[in-house]
């Protein structure tokens, strides 16, 4: 599997790499247990600093997409496949909702603001609920 990065896009290379790995999991191109290319090989193939690949792999591990095994490499985690299916379902729901709201006359900016506002309210509500239940 080879990833394609665009150094002139303005998006940091490690973020581009992370997004491509996550997209590959979501589309099924990468599956549970699949091994990602080694840091050295990927850095050479993409003509980039190995530290950039390390950063992407570490962030992907932090997000629960890959498992880093010292001396063995980076592997797609079991839970990543389940998350990919969940994200795919969410995208289907969002697509339908967006189409309905646009057909009602909302602009993309209004839709974006409404969505961000709803996320903020949900986050605040969850935080308040956690505090009242004594959870950090």
| Domain ranges for the chain | 1-105, 106-136
**33 and 75 Cβ atoms separated by less than 8 Å:** yes
Domain 1-105 is of which CATH architecture? Orthogonal Bundle (1.10)
Give pLDDT, residue 5. Answer: 93
Helix axes of 39-46 and 13-27: crossing angle, nearest 10 degrees: 110
**21 and 60 Cβ atoms separated by less than 8 Å:** yes
Question: E-strand spans in the chain?
Answer: 66-69, 73-76
Query: pTM here?
Result: 0.62
Going by pLDDT thresholds of 50, 70 and 90, the confidence category of residue 8 is very high
Residue 79 has pLDDT above 70, yes or no: no
Please give the structure tokens belonging to residue 29. 């191109």
SS3 state at 66: strand
d(CA 73, CA 67) in angstroms, rounded, equals 8
d(CA 112, CA 89) in angstroms, rounded, equals 20
Going by pLDDT thresholds of 50, 70 and 90, the confidence category of residue 136 is low
């Amino acid at each position: 599997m080879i990833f394609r990065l665009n150094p002139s896009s303005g998006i940091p290379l490690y973020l581009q790499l992370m997004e491509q790995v996550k997209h590959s999991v979501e589309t099924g191109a990468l599956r549970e247990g699949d091994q990602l290319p080694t840091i050295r090989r990927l850095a050479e193939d993409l003509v980039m600093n190995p530290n950039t690949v390390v950063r992407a792999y570490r962030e992907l591990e932090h997000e629960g997409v890959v498992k880093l095994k010292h001396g063995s490499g980076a592997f797609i985690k079991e839970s990543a496949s389940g998350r990919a299916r969940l994200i795919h379902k969410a995208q289907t729901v969002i697509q339908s909702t967006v189409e309905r709201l646009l057909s009602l006359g909302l602009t993309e900016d209004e839709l974006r603001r409404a969505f961000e506002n709803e996320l903020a309210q949900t986050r605040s509500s969850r935080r308040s609920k956690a505090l009242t239940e004594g959870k950090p």
